Amino acid sequence: MSNSQAPFISNQQPLTEVETEALLKTVNYQVATQTFDSGDRQLIAQMVESLGDSRGMVRLGFAEALGQVGKPAVPFLLEALAHHPNPVVRRAAAKTLTLIGDPSAVPNLINALLHDEDTVVKSSAVGALAKTGEAAVPPLLEILVSKEHPESTKGHAAWALAFIGPEAKEIWYREINSESNVIRTAVIGAIAKIAEEAPEEKAFAILINALGDADETVRTEAAAVLGNLAYQPAVPHLIKALAHLDGESRKAAALALMKIGDLTALTPLELAYKKEPEETVCRVMELAISQLEKRKCQK
């Protein structure tokens, strides 16, 4: 972007409360009547500056108005997100970009997530990335596998990926075969959302197949998702997982069977309990058995 075209956020001065209210009233009227001039850079810049108002409802009003303006407001919001000295403006800029969901904002949002010193700006940026959808997936996956970023940042990235869910399902179906166990774990979270919101046999098949993944975290996450979704066809596969060499996998399978509540799992759980060598797993199996027995008595 050339200097002649760059937004001039820093040149805008905060208005008085009365002036700010008048501006908001004016832009709301223009947006509602479709008379807003999206080429008026001075006006958009002042609206972005007003995102720093001390009153929450006023900030919300400008965010919603800028959201209605849409793409013409994006360069101004990105400039504010990257350089505005007031963290309140940076937070609101990220939240407003959430309303717009413009893929061109992804690099700036990633930069804010990684480098902004304000934790609310970081969380607001990741919310905008989640809303942007498929375009945000590749850089978010890169964050997950990088050794440079803290676990808190990776947690933000994993949340955004799970939120994106069905919108990027072809990516998830491909990346479940990734060599990275971290990526496969993130994919399980995203596929869980697909299975919940737009059930597909392919999604459930991937979750069941993941019960045999080489990585413990992937296996336990898959079992947890199948249990939370109460997916009855998974019961035979979860029963098989009760004999897994890894204790955490056996525990996750027992919990999933308890949540699904299929009484055909009762006898296999009792047999697994008698053979179980780990005390913590035994306690989980006891709980699962007791819950299924209660269910049986209620029949």
CB atoms near residue 53 (< 10 Å):
22
Q: List CB contacts of 152: < 8 A, sequence separation 6 or more.
A: none
Q: If you average pLDDT over residues 89-107, what whole number do you get?
A: 95
4: pLDDT confidence band, cut at 50, 70 and 90?
very low
Per mean pLDDT, which range of 3-12, 71-80, 204-213, 235-244 is the poorest? 3-12
pLDDT at residue 11, as a whole number = 62
**Mean pLDDT, the chain, whole residue set:** 92
Q: If you average pLDDT over residues 264-285, what whole number do you get?
A: 96
Amino acid at 249: S
pLDDT exceeds cutoff 70 at 150: yes
Instruction: Report the predicted TM-score, pTM, of the whole model to 2 decimal places.
Output: 0.78
Q: If you average pLDDT over residues 211-227, what whole number do you get?
A: 96
Tens digit of pLDDT for each residue in 12-57?
677 899 999 999 999 999 999 999 999 999 999 999 999 999 999 9
pLDDT exceeds cutoff 80 at 1: no
Rounded Cα–Cα distance for residues 250 and 266 (Å): 15
Rounded Cα–Cα distance for residues 202 and 173 (Å): 9
pLDDT at residue 88, as a whole number = 96
CA distances from 193 to 159, 226, 233, 254 (A): 11, 11, 18, 22
pLDDT exceeds cutoff 50 at 3: no
For 182, the token pair is 């971290």
Q: If you average pLDDT over residues 259-275, what whole number do you get?
A: 96
pLDDT exceeds cutoff 50 at 73: yes
2: pLDDT confidence band, cut at 50, 70 and 90?
very low
In the chain, what percentage of residues exceed pLDDT 70?
Answer: 96
Of 198, 240, 193, 201, the C-alpha closest to 219 is 240
R_g over Cα of the chain: 25
Q: If you average pLDDT over residues 101-112, what whole number do you get?
A: 96
Element (H, E) at 39: none
Q: List CB contacts of 37: < 8 A, sequence separation 6 or more.
A: 30, 43
Tens digit of pLDDT for each residue in 152-194?
999 999 999 988 888 888 899 999 999 999 999 999 999 998 8
Q: List CB contacts of 247: < 8 A, sequence separation 6 or more.
A: 278, 280, 281
Q: If you average pLDDT over residues 67-96, what whole number do you get?
A: 95
Rounded Cα–Cα distance for residues 161 and 143 (Å): 11
pLDDT at residue 6, as a whole number = 47
pLDDT at residue 38, as a whole number = 93
Q: What are phi and psi of 244, to 5 degrees?
A: -65, 150
Q: List CB contacts of 70: < 8 A, sequence separation 6 or more.
A: 100, 102
For 295, the token pair is 């269910």
Q: If you average pLDDT over residues 64-89, what whole number do you get?
A: 95
Of 38, 48, 52, the C-alpha closest to 76 is 48
